[in-house]
Amino acid sequence: DAKTTQPTSMDCAEGRAANLPCNHSTISGNEYVYWYRQIHSQGPQYIIHGLKNNETNEMASLIITEDRKSSTLILPHATLRDTAVYYCIVSFDSWGKLQFGAGTQVVVTP
Amino acid sequence: DGGITQSPKYLFRKEGQNVTLSCEQNLNHDAMYWYRQDPGQGLRLIYYSQIVNDFQKGDIAEGYSVSREKKESFPLTVTSAQKNPTAFYLCASQWGQGLNTEAFFGQGTRLTVV
């Protein structure tokens, strides 16, 4: 599976958009990009995933570059409850075994 | 409500004892997974199962065992052979085979060896 690179941490002001970058330069054509988040001491929560096209759901938007070597997760209006570790994962495995890195610790401040 | 349930939430074990962590799902998912998480780190895959009566080792299977006798249940046994079992254990399930599906996680079991 392709590896991902994410910043270790980032801060965001409440009510502002949070843009979380992820590099996956070795991604192959049939690998999906997944985003999960983990609030302290809880199980990870699925946010969104995509292959080539940009995706949007009620939680976030996912922007994937045309060459697919990087992506950005956008939380449009960050709230204090969005404080969590965010994981960017690419997966080729047909059963979706997920390889978690260290993720990005996002802190939303008032 | 449909979901995935892990129990207990906290578990204490004496050194040298085996202990079993429960994971149950009522989502009718085919695939189930066990992950381990150490402080400040990401999740690492212990075992996974794609179908009843079949399971595969993940990246860190040594010292652990699993069974999949029912579709709904995927218990994990931490044996005395696991050298450093204190960790946060997470169970997940997923709908069948396919990259286009998300995994659902339980709330975890925090195991402490005393």
Span A47-60, pLDDT tens digits? 999 999 899 999 99
User: For residues B82 and A99, what is the distance between their CA atoms, to the nearest angstrom?
Assistant: 22
Q: Cβ-count burial of B40 within 10 angstroms (0-12 exposed, 13-18 middle, 19+ buried)?
A: exposed
For B97, name the nearest residue in chain A, comparing CA atoms only: A95
pLDDT in tens, B4-42: 999 999 999 998 899 999 999 999 999 999 999 998 888
Residue B88 with chain A: CB contacts under 8 Å: 41
Confidence of residue B99 (pLDDT cuts 50, 70, 90): low
Question: What value does the mean pLDDT of chain B take?
Answer: 92
Quote the pLDDT of residue B60: 95
Question: What are the average pLDDT values for consecutive 10-residue runs of chain A, which has 110 residues?
Answer: 86 96 90 92 93 94 96 97 95 70 94
Q: For residue A22, count CB atoms less than 10 angstroms from its CB and return exposed for 0-12, middle for 13-18, buried for 19 or more.
A: buried
Interface test with A, best of B6, B105, B109, B111 (most A CBs within 10 A): B105
SS (H, E, C) chain B: CCCEEEECCEEEECCCCCEEEEEEECCCCCEEEEEEECCCCCEEEEEEEEECCEEEECCCCCCEEECCCECCECCEEECCCCCCCCEEEEEEEECCCCCCCCEEECCCEEEEEC
Q: Closest-CA residue in chain B for A44?
A: B105
Query: Mean pLDDT, to the nearest integer, of B69-78?
Result: 97
- pLDDT the model gives residue B102: 85
